[in-house]
Structure 1
Amino acid sequence: MRDRITDSATAARPLDTLAPPPSASLGLAHAVAIIVGIVIGAGIFKAPSLVAGNVPSTGWLFAVWALGGLFSLAGALCYAELSATYPSRGGDYHFLSRAFGKSTALTYAWARFSVVTTGSLALLGFVFGDYMSQLLPLGPHGSALYAAVAVVVLTAVNLRGIRNGATAQAWLTAVEVGGLVLIVVAGLWLWLGAPAAAPAPVVAPPGSASASSIGLAMVFVLLTYGGWNDAAYISADLRQRRSIMRALVLSVGVITVLYLLVNWAYWHALGLAGMARSEAIATDVLTAAFGPAAGKAVAVMVAVSALTSMNATLIVGARTAGALAQDWPQLRILAAWDDARGVPRNSFLAQAGFALVLIAIGAAYQSGFRAMVEYTAPVFWLFFLLVGLSLFKLRVQEPDQPRPFKVPLYPLTPAVFCLTSAYMLWSSLSYVRSQQLGGINAAWVGVAVLVSGLVLLIVFRRGTRTT
Structure 2
Amino acid sequence: MASKTTLSESGISTPKPTLSTVDAGALIVGMVVGVGIFETPALVAANAANAQVALTAWLLGGIMSLVGALCYAELATTFPHAGGTYHYIHRAFGDKLAFLFAWARMAVVQTGSIALLGFVFGDYTSQLLPLGEYSADIYAVLAVIVLTNLNVIGINSGRWTQNLLTAAKVLGLLLVIGVGIFFATAERASTAPAPNQTTTFGLAMVFVLLTYGGWNEAAYLSAEVRGARHNMVKVLLGSIAIITVIYLLINLAYLHGLGMVDMANSKAPAADLMRRALGEGGAKFLSFLIAVSALGAANATIFTGARSNYALGQDFRKFAFLGRWSSKSTPANALLVQAGIALLLIILGAITRNGFKTMVEYTAPVFWFFFLLSGIALFVLRHREPEIERPFKVPLYPIIPLLFCATCAYLLYSSINYTGIGGTVGVLVLLTGVPILLLGNKQ
TM range (shorter): over 0.9
Q: Distance in 1 between matches of 2:203 and 2:437?
A: 34
Q: Distance in 2 between matches of 1:199 and 1:318?
A: 48
Q: Distance in 1 between matches of 2:355 and 2:180?
A: 36
1:59 aligned residue: 52
Between 1:173-182 and 1:6-15, the stretch displaced more is: 6-15
Q: Does 1:417 align with 2:404?
A: yes
1:18 aligned residue: none
Offset at residue 142 of structure 1 (A): 1.2
Choose which of 334, 351, 361 in structure 2 pairs with 1:364.
Answer: 351
Choose which of 282, 285, 302 in structure 2 pairs with 1:314.
Answer: 302
Q: For residue 272 of structure 1, what is the amino acid of its counterpart?
A: M
Offset at residue 109 of structure 1 (A): 1.3
**CA separation of 1:449/1:36 partners in 2, compared to 1, >3 Å: closer, same or farther?**
same
Q: Distance in 2 between matches of 1:335 and 1:429?
A: 33
Q: Does 1:453 align with 2:433?
A: yes
SS of the equivalent of 1:337 reads coil
Choose which of 318, 337, 344 in structure 1 pairs with 2:331.
Answer: 344
Q: For residue 67 of structure 2, what is the amino acid of its counterpart?
A: A
Q: Does 1:111 align with 2:108?
A: no
Choose which of 379, 390, 405 in structure 1 pairs with 2:377.
Answer: 390
Q: Distance in 2 between matches of 1:9 and 1:409?
A: 38
Q: Distance in 2 between matches of 1:368 and 1:290?
A: 31
Q: Does 1:273 align with 2:273?
A: no
1:76 aligned residue: 69
2:193 aligned residue: 204
Q: Distance in 2 between matches of 1:199 and 1:56?
A: 17
Offset at residue 304 of structure 1 (A): 0.2
Offset at residue 291 of structure 1 (A): 2.1
The 5 A counterparts of 1:22-421 are 23-190=16-183, 198-199=187-188, 202-205=191-194, 206-208=196-198, 213-241=200-228, 242-338=230-326, 340-367=327-354, 370-421=357-408
Offset at residue 405 of structure 1 (A): 1.2
**CA separation of 1:309/1:443 partners in 2, compared to 1, >3 Å: closer, same or farther?**
closer
SS of the equivalent of 1:239 reads coil
Structure 2 gap segments, 5+ residues each: none
Structure 1 gap segments, 5+ residues each: 1-5, 16-20
Q: Is the 8 A contact 1:216 1:431 kept in 2?
A: no
Q: For residue 346 of structure 2, what is the amino acid of its counterpart?
A: I
1:3 aligned residue: none
Q: Does 1:429 align with 2:428?
A: no
Offset at residue 215 of structure 1 (A): 2.1
SS of the equivalent of 2:432 reads helix
Q: Distance in 2 between matches of 1:315 and 1:141?
A: 27
**CA separation of 1:261/1:319 partners in 2, compared to 1, >3 Å: closer, same or farther?**
same
Q: For residue 158 of structure 2, what is the amino acid of its counterpart?
A: G
Identity %: 49
Q: Distance in 2 between matches of 1:404 and 1:394?
A: 15
SS of the equivalent of 2:223 reads helix
**CA separation of 1:234/1:443 partners in 2, compared to 1, >3 Å: closer, same or farther?**
closer
Q: Is the 8 A contact 1:40 1:225 kept in 2?
A: yes
Offset at residue 202 of structure 1 (A): 4.6
Offset at residue 368 of structure 1 (A): 5.7
Q: Is the 8 A contact 1:7 1:337 kept in 2?
A: no
Q: Distance in 1 between matches of 2:70 and 2:292?
A: 29
Q: For residue 337 of structure 1, what is the amino acid of its counterpart?
A: W
Q: Is the 8 A contact 1:115 1:373 kept in 2?
A: no
Q: Distance in 1 between matches of 2:248 and 2:277?
A: 19
**CA separation of 1:455/1:44 partners in 2, compared to 1, >3 Å: closer, same or farther?**
same
SS of the equivalent of 1:238 reads coil
Q: For residue 425 of structure 2, what is the amino acid of its counterpart?
A: V
**CA separation of 1:9/1:414 partners in 2, compared to 1, >3 Å: closer, same or farther?**
closer
Q: Is the 8 A contact 1:131 1:303 kept in 2?
A: yes
Q: Is the 8 A contact 1:49 1:281 kept in 2?
A: yes
Offset at residue 263 of structure 1 (A): 0.5
Runs in 1 of length 4+ with deviation above 3 angstroms?
A: 6-10, 12-15, 199-203, 206-209
Q: For residue 341 of structure 1, what is the amino acid of its counterpart?
A: K
Q: Distance in 1 between matches of 2:288 and 2:251?
A: 20
Q: Distance in 2 between matches of 1:26 and 1:110?
A: 26
SS of the equivalent of 1:406 reads coil
Q: Distance in 1 between matches of 2:11 and 2:378?
A: 29
Offset at residue 424 of structure 1 (A): 1.5
Between 1:447-456 and 1:345-354, the stretch displaced more is: 447-456
Offset at residue 12 of structure 1 (A): 6.1
Q: Distance in 1 between matches of 2:344 and 2:398?
A: 44
1:337-372: CA deviation from partner (whole Å, max 9, x where unpaired): 11x211101001111111112112211113166324
Offset at residue 292 of structure 1 (A): 2.4
Offset at residue 8 of structure 1 (A): 4.0
Q: Distance in 2 between matches of 1:400 and 1:10?
A: 26
TM-score, normalising length from structure 1? Answer: 0.89
**CA separation of 1:410/1:457 partners in 2, compared to 1, >3 Å: closer, same or farther?**
same
TM-score, normalising length from structure 2? Answer: 0.94
2:424 aligned residue: 444
Q: How many residues align?
A: 437
